Amino acid sequence: MTDGGLSRRRLLGVSGTAAVAVAGAGTAYAVSRGDDAGAAGAPSPTAAPALALDAAVPFRGEHQAGIVTPAQDRLHFVALDVVTTDREQLRALLEQWTRAAERMTAGAEAAPGGLVGGGPNRAPEDTGEAYGLPASGLTITIGYGPSLFDDRFGLAPRRPAALRELPAFTGDQLDPRRTGGDLCIQACANDPQVAVHAVRNLVRLGFGVVAVRWSQLGFGRTSSTSTAQATPRNMFGFKDGTNNLKAEEPEGLAQHVWVGPDDETGGGAWMAGGSYLVARRIRMHVEVWDRTSLQEQEDVIGRDKKEGAPLGQTKEFDAPDFARKSPDGTPAIPMNAHVRLAHESHLRGIRLLRRGYNFTDGSDGVGHLDAGLFFLAYMRDPGRQFVPMQRALAKADGLNEYIEHNGSAVFACPPGLADGEHWGQALFA
Amino acid sequence: MTDGGLSRRRLLGVSGTAAVAVAGAGTAYAVSRGDDAGAAGAPSPTAAPALALDAAVPFRGEHQAGIVTPAQDRLHFVALDVVTTDREQLRALLEQWTRAAERMTAGAEAAPGGLVGGGPNRAPEDTGEAYGLPASGLTITIGYGPSLFDDRFGLAPRRPAALRELPAFTGDQLDPRRTGGDLCIQACANDPQVAVHAVRNLVRLGFGVVAVRWSQLGFGRTSSTSTAQATPRNMFGFKDGTNNLKAEEPEGLAQHVWVGPDDETGGGAWMAGGSYLVARRIRMHVEVWDRTSLQEQEDVIGRDKKEGAPLGQTKEFDAPDFARKSPDGTPAIPMNAHVRLAHESHLRGIRLLRRGYNFTDGSDGVGHLDAGLFFLAYMRDPGRQFVPMQRALAKADGLNEYIEHNGSAVFACPPGLADGEHWGQALFA
């Protein structure tokens, strides 16, 4: 790995550590860090996991990876502020990040030289904690916040019309330390050490140009983004995201997720093929929830707890029947149930691609776990999708008694990169 | 799962979800939550992971599981305070915890009835977020802090002599909100959702009797506790725990980890076969570290970064040669290198069983990641092992420039349970 690029040996997956290509997400291929990691005779620390989880996800393509990529199980998300006012420094960092991200998603160190190639008198080019670990399905997705388009970098004329700060919603309890950001990086992987390593090395490369504003780890995806994935459970113990958009619905994605070629004109035209990301940190008061009855829980969600079927139906994927009555004449799915209010039929057809994660950030100092859902959703236009949906939920959702939105941000995630292209190129064109 | 116990179907591992017994740690067997989780026709969310990681670890035995059990990859650790002064409530909770822990480590819900067995008007017996997930190697290990043996519960005469608060060490920057605790629960698993679920359900059962004092998640083990595991890397990018005690060294474990039958007399005799746990939250200033030269990093640790060999040697498991000189006449391993000061040859033969985890708890509000090592170590007598070791390190370790101990606790972890026995039985005898 001192040849200044990805070694062919690596890309052919014949290194010493477990690295076998298994088709997972399209044309996934597998590589691993550390050509000689197995040379000491010690077993690979990654010998046990299933190999599909080790594989690499292609970095380049029509869209950024990490959006419709089948959701990996671990997340490290970071929002950053730009601390320089030098436009060229920012542009150069985005280019440098592209190279590093492409290398890391392929299972290589952040920069040529890796741990030791720079020699004893230089800081290593890679921090090393993922050395020897496989690519682990790592995706790195970048986004630009509305504040990036102020007057610091001359980007105001490039701001897409759809990229606006979210309005305040009823019940919001936003903590400024968990809100906003000039840039975001979403790193998802099947090994948390790989996701954390990716963010850390990008942050390191950005020293003096960007600083971490806030970050969030997630440990269990809460939505399936592919029909090949079962629906996971959130911290309320319910299946979450049953009705999510899936990678296998290209028409739905074109309609609800990807920015169309005519959506933005003028300065924002570079967003075609991109998507908008809304991030919300939703604290869930699990201790209160855990003391409520099963009936109350199911009424609040509008699904049964075990199977995840809409109330009044029997199977998870049965369509909810909002007109159905219980034997006592009341609606089978209560009027303020989450599934009713969040359903497209009550939102004039609005849908989102949810890609959130469960979190538990220790405890809150008064005896409770600081647990919840880090809601991430991709969409074509937040003002026409997330905003009306959240207004409807904030007003009446029975869940509001048990949750609290305490972090919020919105980002424009540009389209994918063609060969030789780098982040920021279209933005600064 | 409404029959009030573990179903035979479950124990035979023939449920709908992935559940195949694979020998991993001794007599591991595999079960999974949710007999009919696969009935909806959806693929199991856990179909992908290697099956060895899904298996169950036996709960009962001579020693508690989670000490020499090959270290799982994920941790949820919680320190609790007892909030009642009623001795019987505490005793009853320990008994209830035993039943719940045994069930959950076998892959079952926290209590019979699970998600729905209690009927619509009761809170579910299990919070549900691990429903359908396999046992995932879950271990639940309990410990009692020195403060439990004050005058509240009549336990003062039962305090083992070796269980004392740790002294202050040079450089300590302890945060009271991350320090101490009447009780601890260490939950380790190969799936973080399973570890978090276990802690949450035990905390829920303890409502009114105990409250969370602090908790810590860890995402990557930093020490191998079995010769079958490769040495993982810490957040400084170095292999950590190469020289750790291993499960395959019964004489070393008897000498350094397990409390001997004659170690404690009188009130503390119940600790024979148990072990003492020292927990230290060690923040690592990764941003500073990442800007230092490779030479400085290797000199501070005393090993080379890539291979992990002691300086002056070539392979990870080569014995360090502390007398060896570099060509320039200086010691190959500097006098203040971590491996020199922490080595048994410089500590009159002191060794510990390290079982720590990497953590990244978001960012610190001033642009840095709050990352580090959650140090967990098991030993026979903290006053003769951890205390002299940490005194030697606190005084001279080159690492001190880059780390900060900001949390600390010590616990007496009782021996394992025989059939029919429960936690607290020996303590309250």
pLDDT, tens digit (0-9, with 9 covering 90-100), for A337-383? 999 999 999 999 999 999 999 999 988 878 888 999 999 999 999 99
Q: CB distance A297–B371 less than 8 Å? A: no
Q: Does A77 touch chain B (CB under 8 A)?
A: no
Could you tell me which residue, B365 or A98, shows the higher pLDDT? A98
d(CA A230, CA A208): 43
Mean pLDDT of A19-24: 30
pLDDT score of A14 more than 90: no
pLDDT over 70 at B30, yes or no: no
> What tokens were used for B406?
């900001």
pLDDT digits (tens, 9 = 90+) for A194-230: 999 999 999 999 999 999 999 999 988 878 888 888 8
Q: Please tell me which of the candidates A116, A192, A232 has its beta carbon nearest to residue B294.
A: A116
Tens digits of residue pLDDT in A132-179: 999 999 999 999 999 999 999 999 999 999 999 999 999 999 999 999
Inter-axis angle of helices B192-205 and B87-105, to 10 degrees? Answer: 150
Output the six-digit token pair for A372.
């919840």
Higher pLDDT, B248 or A26: B248
Indicate whether B331 pLDDT > 90. yes
Flag whether residue B297 sits within 8 Å of chain A, measured between CB atoms. yes
DSSP A105-138: HTT--SSTTTTTTT-TTS--SS--TTTT-B-TT-
Asked whether residue B20 is assigned to any structural domain, the reply reads no
Size of interface A-B (CB pairs under 8 A): 246
CA distance B217 to A220: 13
Residue with more model confidence, B231 or A6: B231
- Interatomic CA distance for residues B270 and B127, integer angstroms: 34
Asked whether residue A418 is domain-assigned, the answer is no
Residue A26 domain flag: no
CA distance linking residue A323 with residue A330, whole number of Å: 10
Contacts of B18 (CB under 8 A, 6+ apart): B32, B44, B46, B47, B51, B54, B134
**Is the confidence at residue B28, as pLDDT, over 90?**
no
The answer to whether residue B196 sits within a structural domain is yes
Q: What pLDDT, on a 0 to 100 scale, did the predictor assign at position A51?
A: 54
Q: How many Å apart are CA A26 and CA B110, to the nearest integer?
A: 39
Share of chain A above pLDDT 90, in %: 79
pLDDT the model gives residue A224: 83
Q: What percent of chain B has pLDDT over 70?
A: 88
Q: Read off the tokens for B362.
A: 């978001």
Average pLDDT, chain A: 88
pTM for the predicted model, two decimal places? 0.89
Q: Number of structural domains, chain A?
A: 1
Determine the pLDDT at residue A225: 85
From the list B130, B316, B363, the residue facing A212 with the nearest CB is B363
Least confident span in B51-55, B191-195, B266-270, B357-361: B51-55
| Mean pLDDT score across all residues of chain B | 88
Distances in Å between the Cα of B246 and the Cα atoms of A158, B70, B187 are 59, 9, 20
Radius of gyration of chain B (CA): 22
What is residue A312's predicted lDDT score, i.e. its pLDDT? Answer: 96
**CA dist., res. B284 & res. B361, Å (int):** 12
Phi, psi at B286, each rounded to 5°: -65, -30
User: Which residues in A lie closer than 8 A to residue B121 (C-beta atoms)?
Assistant: 293-295
**CB atoms inside a 10 Å sphere around CB A318:** 16
Position B32 confidence tier, pLDDT thresholds 50, 70, 90 = low
> Nearest-CA residue of chain B relative to A82?
B367
In this structure, is residue A25 part of a structural domain?
no
Residue B52 is predicted with a pLDDT of: 78
* Contact call for A307 and B40, based on CB within 8 A: yes
Where in A15-129 does DSSP place strands (E)? 74-82
Q: Which class for A325: exposed (0-12), middle (13-18), buried (19 or more C-beta within 10 A)?
A: exposed
CB of A295 within 8 Å of a chain B CB? The answer is: yes
Mean pLDDT confidence for A18-26: 31
Has residue A272 got a pLDDT over 50? yes
A:307-366 residues touching chain B, CB 8 A cutoff: 307-308, 315-317, 358, 360-363, 365
**What does the pLDDT read at residue A47?**
36
Whether residue A8 lies inside any domain: the answer is no
pLDDT at residue A50 tops 50: no
Pick among B179, B196, B210, B236 to test the A interface (most A CBs inside 10 A): B196
Q: What is the DSSP letter of B40?
A: T
* Smallest Cα distance from A403 to chain B, Å: 16
Cβ distance B212 to A127 less than 8 Å, yes or no, reads no
Confidence at residue A316, expressed as pLDDT on a 0 to 100 scale:
96
CA A399 to chain CA mean position, Å = 23
Range(s) of the domain holding residue A297: 56-112+121-413
pLDDT tens-digit readout, B108-135: 999 998 888 889 999 999 999 999 999 9
At residue A32, the pLDDT reads 54
How far, in Å, CA of A307 to CA of A304, rounded? 6
Q: Read off the pLDDT of each residue in A301-329 and give the average, rounded to a whole number.
A: 96
Rg of chain A over CA atoms, in angstroms? 22
Instruction: Respond yes or no on whether ipTM tops 0.85.
Output: yes
CA–CA distance, A31 with A18 (Å, rounded to integer): 9
In a domain, B61, yes or no: yes
Asked if A78 has any chain B CB less than 8 Å from its own CB, the reply is yes
Q: Write down the residue that tokens 């001795």 correspond to.
A: B87
Q: Which amino acid is at B357?
A: Y
3-class SS letters over A177-230? HHECCCEEEEEEECCHHHHHHHHHHHHHHCCCCEEEEEEEEECEECCCCCCCCC
> Cβ neighbours of residue B274 under 8 Å, at least 6 residues apart?
B63, B64, B258, B259, B412, B413, B414, B415
CB contact under 8 A, A74 and B219: yes
**Tokens coding A1:** 């790995």
Per-residue tokens: A60: 């380049």
- Is residue B175 a contact partner of residue B407, using CB atoms and an 8 Å limit? yes
Which residue in chain B is spatially nearest to A114 when comparing CA positions? B306
If pLDDT is split at 50, 70 and 90, which confidence band does B12 have? Answer: very low
pLDDT at B67 over 80: yes
The pLDDT value recorded for residue B39 is 32
- Confirm or reject contact between A194 and chain B (CB < 8 A): no
For every residue of B186-215, DSSP letters joined together read: EEEESSHHHHHHHHHHHHHHTTTTEEEEEE
Q: DSSP assignment, residue B54?
A: G
Domain presence at residue A334: yes
Cα–Cα dist B349/B352, whole Å: 10
What is the model's pLDDT at position B26?
34
Who among B123, B294, B362 is closest to A214 (CB)?
A: B362
Mean pLDDT confidence for A301-322 = 96
Per-residue pLDDT tens over the stretch A333-342: 999 999 999 9
Q: Which residues 22-51 of A have a C-beta within 8 angstroms of B?
A: 40, 42-45, 47-50
CA closest to A24 among chain B residues? B48
- Is the pLDDT at B14 greater than 80? The verdict is no
Helix (H, G, I), strand (E, B) or coil at B99: helix
> Torsion angle of alpha carbons B81, B84, B90, B92, nearest 10°?
-130
Question: What percent of chain A is modeled with pLDDT above 70?
Answer: 88
Q: Which residues between 254 and 283 in chain A have a beta carbon less than 8 angstroms from any beta carbon of chain B?
A: none
Q: What whole-number distance in Å separates Cα of residue B415 and Cα of residue B61?
A: 8
